[in-house]
Structure 1
Amino acid sequence: MRFKLTYTILAGAVGLAGMLAGCNSDFLDVTATDRISDDAIVSDSSLFEDYVINRYMGVRLQDKEAEGTPPGFGRGFEYALWATLTDEAIYNNDDNTWVIQRGLLAPENTGIAGTLWSRSYRSIRECNYALEQMAEVEMTQSRKDLLTAELKFIRAYRYHDLVRNYGSVVLMGDKVYNLGDDLTDDALFQKSSIADGINYIVAQLDEAAAGLPASNSSSWALGRATKGAALALKSRILLYAASPLYNAGSWQTAADAAKAVMNMGYSLHPDYQSLFLTSSSSEIIFERLYVIGARHVCLEISNGPNGYGGWAGNTPLQNLVDAYEVKVDDDTAEPFDWDNTTHATAPYENRDPRFYASILYNGAEYRGRNVETFTPGGQDSKDGKDNWNASKTGYYLRKFIDDDLPINNPWDVAGIQPWIYLRYAEILLNYAEAQNEAVGPDASVYEAINAIRERADMPELPAGLSQSEMRDAIRRERQVELAFEEHRFYDVRRWMIAMETENEPAYGINITKSGNTLTYERKVALDGRKFEQKHYWLPIPRAEIQSSGNKLEQSPNY
């Protein structure tokens, strides 16, 4: 039997069942009928493995979160993507995102970013519980070794989410805390250094990689961790560690970690747009899979233009649109520039093909007609039908959207695209950045970046770039290649350029049509955008601080 990460989660209290062990009151000494007991999990090897599989998912903690199936790692396919907290997009109807875009983030008001702390630590405890019970389960040692490696990967992924959002975090080790335990020990709430957190994650991933299969073969489960997934996540966290915000590692170590994944046989998918609609590709290293009956948010209606019956949802910003280069010819590309008359009068011509694969713009061919965001009269503007769903930016999301899935009445058929956590293009970008910082723009840096650009049908980078020029090129490449995939939020922070990028206005476009002439003018799509120094890390929700008896230290400056 082959499992996919689309199974029904076990009763929500399974992971917490052991916590009741410390309670001696007679009235609690009853057999629960709404959950699976600890004894049942440990005594049934199949049920125990199901418990492990379900650790790839977490509990729903917030409204409009996890429609269809419980949330996985990060935010994934929710109504508001993580991209709406960056200069990539805004969420058209807010959904607790504008508070972050406007710099109002606080321990008492964390918006959609408020679930990371509690969900991560709950998952870590659940992994610790399974690791503690492993010895009692009747199964072959080889199977135990596989599940142990898998749990260490999941636990490391949760810590990676904690460290990249909060910096210094509490390392729980293997301890499983129960309600009857003494929870007054200050050490329980003592944060580690960022370096210690990263070292712990790396050590866990090394141990996981040693016990995980090289690939998802027929004897393993689709969508579950592999050696490549563990080493790819290690590459990411070591890249972060070497970055200015963390200052807790070396660029050469990060380059070596990426190179180890590059030597594993992954390759780029031939077509950028179709990559995000397929669950089987040589580029995908770790993904979450969905099927009918266990789906995610239906992207087509949630993000589609109002003229098609869509709800706009995650609307791209002009800030991102302007990052896509203009192809001058087969050998040359140049940055888009509003001061360039040729660019400004035809802003959507000859752009990087990844623009067309990622963003719906005025004039784009889509589902039998051209998108119309112009005014007056554009079908997908505020003059169109369902105008309350018209994009505030003048753009709509194209990436991840499947034209074979309906916009209207999608509930029983849509929401089945895979969410890709780790893919080979990220590894190439990790390598190029780390190698450039370690030794400068050598041939291997060019080779990694140009492989990605060649797949996108973009010219190679010009020869002779300085280290600084290559740094800028790599950052732009990450911005457009990885758009909407939960990288930009962390990239601008780790590079410590967020005071610049996140204080730029959230721009959109006004397109005015007069006869056959279109006039383009940038506008502010969401006012009040603001980023402060303290926002480099998320605040720990106030409730978590209070639950610790105020022993848990808040993130700096909150």
Structure 2
Amino acid sequence: MKSLFSLVIITALLGLGGCSHDLLDKAPVDRITDEAVWSDPALVQTFVNSKYRDLGFGFNWNGDELLWASASDESLFSHDYGMWAINKSEITPSNLAILGSGPTEYNGNMNPWSKNYRYIRDANQFFDRIGTVPMDSAQRRQLTGEMTFLRAFRYFDLVRNYGGVPLLTQRFTLGDDYTQVKRASLSESIGFVVSEADKAAALLPATYTGADVGRATKGAALALKARMLLYAASPLYAGTNDITRWQTAAQAARAVMELNVYQLYPSYQQLFLTPNNSEVIFNRQASQQGDSFQNLERWNGPNGYGGWGGNVPTQNLVDDYETMDGLSITAAGSGYDSQNPYANRDPRLAATILYNGASYRGRAVETFRPGGLDSPDGPESFNTSPTGYYLRKFMNETRDFGSASGSQAPWIYFRLGEIMLNYAEAQNEAVGPDASVYSALNQLRARVSMPPLRAGLTQAQMRERIRRERQIELAFEEHRYYDVRRWKIAPTTENLPIRRASITKDGLGKLRYEYPSVQERRFSDRNYFLPIPLKETQANPALVQNPGY
């Protein structure tokens, strides 16, 4: 049976590969056949381009304005859409809530099982056919490297969400029997991702120029390997504290840093608004890949400005930002004042979160009551943040909330800052807090004018500092949900109620801050991994469901 590719998708993506073929000469006006694609190097290039577009991105979960951060203690999604079922541990194989909706295109992340295997099927088709395509060997090598990386990234996403998964490397076609396909072990699945990342790294260049900038590189493949190995060494995956696993993870992260291709971007806030900057290892650029309409600023902005207050930061997260002295707000001598809570705090707080009094778009944010423009007393009270905070990270303050062109912020899959944190964590677990661990962390802190960590920390103390540094540095970048699980601290962090800032203004203009709960959260052991959709286990009796579901 012939596979058919939508002309709409292909024509939208021709620009990325620099192809100028007239597709109307290749096939009927609405479809292109397998034979046409795999006999034309330009169309094969376009097929690979489409796999970049198919790669899910964190601004648009499930084709809507959800951020995966709202599945963790970083954030609360105001409008539900099924996210609360995850927050309250209510999803099941037959009730996947927000993860169960079917997409109209490869746009949001959707259900990680189906969207990844759909993608892997397409990647396997590429590997089945690429050897027969009449093309230059250098182009074949590069495209093979790109697809090897992209398929490995998809398998990584499966492993972090489900554990061991079926490792399919050949494309199933109509009539094939897949009912005996079994899940590989967790160790085998991790090993596959690492091996494929190594293969991709050997095929890919370190950098690109011109229109090819943004494609997968050697650094992207090595970054994927480093992240997978960090997970593999962590308590959830390793089971025991295996020092050799941590050593291997540290070496993998060091290999990325030693490429000497990436540098920390000077501005933390602008880092997330500047595509392909010096820190970015691999990112997605909405403006170059034909994304459908999205408007981050409107989706997440304060209601007083016309925003919808969607993914809103929690008081739980705000409390973990240190003071400028490098102290926890609960530490003696920190100077923290619960009635003036945002003064003298880590600058990443102001770069990530909009709070009462923050300067934004020409005025101060007002979440106090009564009368605050960004409180329930402001316009469209149904779009008010339930936590008293709004998201600032990723938001372009010069973009009109109603702009028909939507947002253009790049979604960063890998960046040097994360790799440095990966290295620090693995190296600390392998040998303790040596000078290289301090160096990695202090460089990140220096960028935002935070003081260096104090000397003489024990391994356990450094572990806690690294975990907090990850929470702050990587906030809203889809790490927290997985970090608390791989560290096996989710039974603590994810069972705490979500708290908010409740601010009351008296007749004299004085503000009073209180921090009550706004949403209960629940986590059980089964929530370390997601359930495999019921329809998948029904279709394949050999597919064993995750424990607890």
Structure 2: how far apart are the matches of 1:544 and 1:198? 22
Give deviations 1:94-136, integer Å, cap 9, x for gaps: 1211110011121112233341101101111111101110122
Alpha-carbon distance between aligned partners in 1 of 2:544 and 2:11, rounded to the nearest angstrom: 33
Secondary structure of the 1:57 match is helix
Whole-angstrom distance in 2 between the partners of 1:335 and 1:191? 44
Question: Per the alignment, in what secondary structure is the counterpart of residue 519 of structure 1?
Answer: strand
2:468 aligned partner:
476
Structure 2 length as normaliser, TM-score? 0.90
Q: Indicate the residue corresponding to 1:110 in structure 2.
A: 96
* Residue number among 282, 291, 296 corresponding to 1:294 in the alignment: 291
Q: CA shift at 1:342, angstroms? A: 4.1
Question: Displacement of 1:33 after TM fit?
Answer: 6.1
Matched with 1:181 is: 176
2:483 aligned partner: 491
Question: What letter is aligned with 1:73?
Answer: G
Q: Quick one: which of 520, 524, 545 aligns to 2:537?
A: 545
Aligned residues between the structures = 508
Residue 315 in 1 paired to residue 298 in 2? Answer: no
Change (3 A) 1:337 1:516: farther
User: Residue by residue, what CA displacement relative to the aligned partner does 1:303-331 show, whole Å, maximum 9, x if unpaired?
Assistant: 1100111100110000110110011xxxx
Structure 1 partner of 2:344:
350
State how far apart, in whole Å, the 2-side matches of 1:434 and 1:112 are: 33
Percent of pairs identical after alignment?
A: 50
SS at match of 1:473: helix
AA matched with 1:326 = T
- 5+ residue gaps, structure 1: 1-6, 13-30, 59-71
Matched, 1:233 2:227: no
Q: Is the 8 A contact 1:373 1:511 kept in 2?
A: yes
Matches within 5 A, 1:459-474: 459-474=451-466
Quote the residue 1:40 is aligned against: 36
Partner residue of 1:334?
327
- Note the C-alpha offset of 1:74: 5.2
Residue 255 (structure 1) aligned with residue 250 (structure 2): yes
Per-residue CA deviation, residues 397-456 of structure 1 (Å, 9 max, x unaligned), is 00000011111x2122x3111100000000000000000000000000000000000011
Of residues 89, 101, 105, the one that matches 2:87 is 101
Question: What residue in structure 2 maps to residue 324 of structure 1?
Answer: 321
Shift of 1:176: 1.2
> One-letter code of the match for 2:225?
K
From the superposition, tell whether residues 151 and 33 of structure 1 become closer, same or farther in structure 2 (CA, over 3 Å): same
Query: For residues 228-277 of structure 1, what are the alpha-carbon distances to aligned partners after superposition, in whole Å with 9 as ceiling and x for unaligned?
Result: 00001111000000000000770000000000001011110000000001
3-state DSSP class of the match of 1:245? Answer: helix
Helix, strand or coil at the partner of 2:286: coil
* CA displacement at 1:295 relative to structure 2: 5.0
- 1:123-134 matched pairs, under 5 angstroms: 123-134=119-130
- Cα distance in structure 2, aligned partners of 1:432 and 1:183: 42
Structure 1 counterpart SS, 2:129: helix
Describe the SS at the equivalent of 1:511: strand
Task: Output the CA distance in 1 between the equivalents of 2:9 and 2:278.
Answer: 29
Question: CA RMSD of the aligned region, Å?
Answer: 1.9
**3-state SS of the aligned residue for 1:36?**
strand
1:519 matched to 2:486? The reply is: no
Amino acid at match of 1:336: I
Partner of 2:155: 159
In structure 1, C-alpha distance between the alignment counterparts of 2:11 and 2:186, rounded to whole Å: 34
CA distance in 2: counterparts of 1:522 and 1:493, whole angstroms: 26
Q: TM-score, normalised by structure 1?
A: 0.88
Matched, 1:276 2:269: no
- When residues 277 and 342 of structure 1 are mapped into structure 2, their CA distance, relative to the original with a 3 A threshold, is closer
Choose from 382, 391, 415 the match for 1:388.
382
Q: Is this contact kept in 1: 2:355–2:367, CA < 8 A? A: yes
Separation in 2, partners of 1:490, 1:34: 41
- Between the aligned partners of 1:305 and 1:381, the Cα distance in structure 2 is 9
Q: Extract unaligned runs of 5+ from structure 2.
A: 1-6, 13-26, 101-110
Q: Judging changes above 3 Å, is the alpha-carbon distance between structure 1 residues 104 and 182 closer, same or farther for their aligned structure 2 residues?
A: closer
Residue 143 of structure 1 aligns to which amino acid in structure 2?
A: Q
Q: 1:244 aligns with which of 194, 214, 235?
A: 235
Preserved contact between residue 276 and residue 283 of structure 2 (Cα < 8 Å): no
The separation in 2 between residues aligned to 1:44 and 1:75, in whole angstroms, is 33
